Amino acid sequence: MEQLRAAWAAKAIVMIIITSILFQCVCGVNHTVGETSGWDLTSNIQAWASSATFSIGDDLVFLYTPVYDVVEVNQQGYDTCTIANAMATYSSGETVIHLTAPGTRYFVCGRLGHCQQGLKLQVQVQTQAQGQTQSNNNGAPPHSSGNSLPAPPHSAPDTPPADVPESCDCSRADHMLTSITLVITTVILSSARAAFLFPLKHHLLLVFT
């Protein structure tokens, strides 16, 4: 009997561990395309993109007026500003693109002449580990020899501020994990009880027959 209880307890522990791993809360970064000016002809989209690091789990947030739209294209469509083979088109004024896989994604404005004027975006999506490594490298001070002269003062480049991670709200994930853990524990304990009662019932039937 003790062996049976230990086996069911081990199963419950394994299932709870697996569930907690699957329901980890992972938070990415919300990248507002073009920063304060948004998805607009007045924005320097290329300069903004070059200053940001995009990783799996991040979101691209396009904010734009009705005179613009967002069209996802392939590399050829990006290079030639053609949307004949568009992968997706958005015109709601606030489009959120979730980055789910590594690789390069391309976006242009499909309105006449806007892409040719520079309203297009190329995003290189990295894994989270690659993005963290690049951030650490960007933050390291440049190496200089002892004989080198001090660099002259210079003004900061006119580039948009880097995106910062938003605070993570894991309350829903934690609530879901707690509920699923309780369900799994209840099912396993019920099964263990049934496994114990069935041979007991069979034994009583043999005694009284």
- Domain ranges, ordered by start, for the chain: 7-24+171-207, 30-135
Separation between Cα atoms, residue 169 and residue 209, nearest integer Å: 62
* 6 token code pair: 């230990």
Which range (67-76, 123-132, 151-160) has the least confidence?
151-160
Separation between Cα atoms, residue 40 and residue 145, nearest integer Å: 44
CATH homologous superfamily for the domain 30-135: Cupredoxins -  blue copper proteins (2.60.40.420)
According to the model, what pLDDT value does residue 194 have?
Answer: 55
Separation between Cα atoms, residue 149 and residue 146, nearest integer Å: 8
Separation between Cα atoms, residue 10 and residue 61, nearest integer Å: 45
Q: Grade residue 184 by pLDDT with cuts at 50, 70 and 90.
A: low
Separation between Cα atoms, residue 65 and residue 61, nearest integer Å: 13
3-state class (DSSP) for residue 133: helix
Q: In what order do the strands lie in the sheet with 59-63?
A: 30-32, 59-63, 94-98
| 95: enclosing H helix or E strand | strand 94-98
Q: Where are the alpha helices (DSSP H) in the chain?
A: 2-22, 45-50, 75-80, 128-139, 171-207
- Radius of gyration over every alpha carbon of the chain, rounded to an integer in angstroms: 28
According to the model, what pLDDT value does residue 69 have?
Answer: 98
Q: What is the pLDDT of residues 142-170, one digit of tens each?
A: 444 445 455 444 443 443 444 444 445 45
DSSP state of 196: H
With a cut of 90, say whether residue 58 has pLDDT above it: yes
Amino acid present at 175: H
Q: Is-contact 106 73, C-beta < 8 A? A: yes
* 82 token code pair: 């053609």
Cβ burial, residue 58 (10 Å; 0-12/13-18/19+): buried
3-state class (DSSP) for residue 21: helix
